[in-house]
């Protein structure tokens, strides 16, 4: 029996598991390790970090829930095929408790690789504080764990991460080309660190704003945005993300991006809190209802109202001041009678549409946005005209 095939009893008695491994250098600072282990024993050294939030809404973990159907399919393959093969490596992120001890006589070979021993501390099997977390391969590991096979050696690729943020970044990078739910990636982005693909870097700022809007107790959207850790939210996270991306591009949030000095989150949150608080006040009958009962909480409503927020902020904001709730509310009240979030008909230029016939499509979002902006501009134009007439008569 080799060191990599230690029995469970022996593993638990050892203070540390010593596994033959190869250390591979990637770039100036990164090291990855590859080794073999009986798949039945992966749970002894690594846990699955399920994504969740604690009572203080702090984010923990990063893995989606276990897919029982996927696990069952792999397990059937392992139990029925006479010669099963799972060549893909399980990826594990270890913490700083794991260390690599290089062999003294490495012999000839590439300069970027050296053999040695990976020393992994062993904790009690019931202790959740494992030295490793499974970054990729949780379904395979679960299937091997539950299979009838007495043992099934697998290949593991591992790295040592200093922080949970680094682990999350690697999890996103490993899974970014797979069918990973976008909502899971978006919820992980605020807590990720290091280099990420450009499309994800662009979404990190709005994803951070979504997190604050959703989990700050003072936010008008508190726990109303649907995410993996808040599945009962009414509003789709992607709709809020699109609203924020539009505003960050050239709207009310743009002045606070701080491309060189870093974003001013305080001002951004103040603008968003003030506007959506005003929306809740002006449209109480349409607020905090499922999208099927209120198109205000629908993707079309959220995105179109975001454009209206930008227009009001552009009209009212000064260089040093943020539009107050009362100012947003005053302008929203001026067009409230023209809105049909829960009943009635939208009189669009290209034909009437029933309130619940609006869909979350580019065309319908554009129709609703044009309608709301036209009504708002008509009101503000009338106010300016009346103001000029009043000045002339005094």
pLDDT digits (tens, 9 = 90+) for 52-86: 566 666 655 545 555 577 788 889 989 988 889 99
CA distance 11 to 119: 12
> Is the dihedral angle over the CA atoms 260, 265, 266, 268 positive or is it negative?
positive
Question: Taking residues 342-366, what's their average pLDDT?
Answer: 95
DSSP 8-state assignment for residue 20? E
pTM comes to 0.60
Under DSSP, is residue 153 helix (H, G, I), strand (E, B) or coil?
A: strand
Task: Compute the residue count for the chain.
Answer: 394
Which backbone phi and psi does 390 adopt, to 5 degrees?
-65, -40
Residue 168 in contact with residue 31, Cβ under 8 Å? no
Residue found under tokens 């909480």 = 297
Max distance between CA atoms of the chain, in angstroms, equals: 101
- Predicted pLDDT at 39: 94
Mode of pairing for the β-strands spanning 235-236 and 225-226? parallel
> Which residue's entry shows tokens 């936010």?
219
Least confident window among 195-199, 345-349, 365-369: 195-199
Strands (E), 103-174: 113-121, 132-136, 153-160
Give the per-residue pLDDT at 9.
40
Return the DSSP state at 230: B
pLDDT at 13: 45
Give CA separation, 227 vs 51, 53, 128, 139, 307, in Å.
Answer: 11, 11, 25, 22, 23
- End-to-end Cα spacing for the chain: 101
Highest-pLDDT range among 172-186, 200-214, 236-250: 236-250
CB 67 within 8 A of CB 138: no
Q: Is the Cβ–Cβ distance between 146 and 77 less than 8 Å?
A: no
Average pLDDT value for residue range 191-218? 81
pLDDT confidence of residue 257: 87
pLDDT digits (tens, 9 = 90+) for 244-290: 999 999 999 999 988 677 889 999 999 999 999 999 999 999 999 99
- Structure tokens given for 31: 């090291």
C-beta separation of 163 from 171 below 8 A: no
């Amino acid at each position: 029996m080799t060191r990599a095939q230690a029995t469970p009893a022996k593993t638990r008695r050892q203070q540390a598991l010593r596994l033959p491994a190869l250390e591979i250098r990637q770039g100036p600072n990164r090291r990855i390790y590859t080794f073999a282990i009986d798949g039945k024993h992966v749970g002894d050294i690594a846990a699955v970090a399920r994504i969740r939030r604690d009572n203080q809404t702090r984010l923990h973990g990063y893995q989606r829930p276990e897919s029982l159907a996927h696990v069952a399919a792999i397990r059937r393959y392992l139990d029925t095929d006479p010669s099963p093969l799972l060549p893909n490596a399980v990826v594990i992120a270890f913490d700083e408790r794991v260390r690599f001890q290089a062999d003294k006589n490495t012999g000839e070979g590439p300069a970027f690789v050296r053999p040695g021993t990976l020393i992994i501390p062993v904790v009690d099997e019931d202790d959740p504080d494992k030295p490793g977390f499974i970054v990729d391969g949780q379904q395979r590991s679960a299937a091997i764990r539950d299979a009838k096979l007495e043992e099934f050696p697998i290949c593991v690729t591992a790295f040592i991460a200093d922080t949970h943020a680094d682990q999350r970044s690697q999890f996103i990078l490993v899974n970014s080309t797979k069918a990973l739910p976008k909502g899971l990636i978006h919820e992980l982005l605020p807590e990720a660190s290091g280099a990420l693909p450009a499309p994800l870097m662009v979404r990190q700022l709005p994803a951070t704003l979504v997190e604050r809007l959703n989990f700050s107790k003072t936010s008008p959207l508190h726990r109303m945005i649907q995410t993996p850790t808040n599945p009962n939210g009414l509003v789709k996270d992607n709709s809020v993300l699109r609203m924020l991306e539009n505003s960050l591009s050239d709207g009310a949030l743009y002045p606070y991006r701080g491309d060189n000095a870093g974003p001013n989150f305080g001002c951004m949150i103040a603008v968003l809190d003030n506007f959506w608080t005003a929306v809740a006040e002006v449209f109480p009958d349409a607020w905090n209802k499922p999208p099927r009962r209120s198109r205000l909480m629908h993707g079309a409503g959220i995105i179109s109202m975001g454009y209206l927020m930008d227009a009001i902020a552009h009209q009212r904001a000064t260089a040093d001041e943020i539009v107050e709730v009362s100012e947003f509310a005053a302008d929203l009240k001026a067009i409230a009678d023209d809105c049909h979030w829960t009943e009635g008909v939208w009189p669009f230029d290209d034909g009437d549409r029933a309130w619940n016939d609006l869909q979350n499509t580019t065309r319908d979002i554009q129709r609703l946005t044009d309608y709301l902006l036209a009504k708002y501009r008509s009101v503000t134009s009338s106010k300016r005209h009346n103001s000029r007439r009043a000045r002339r008569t005094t």
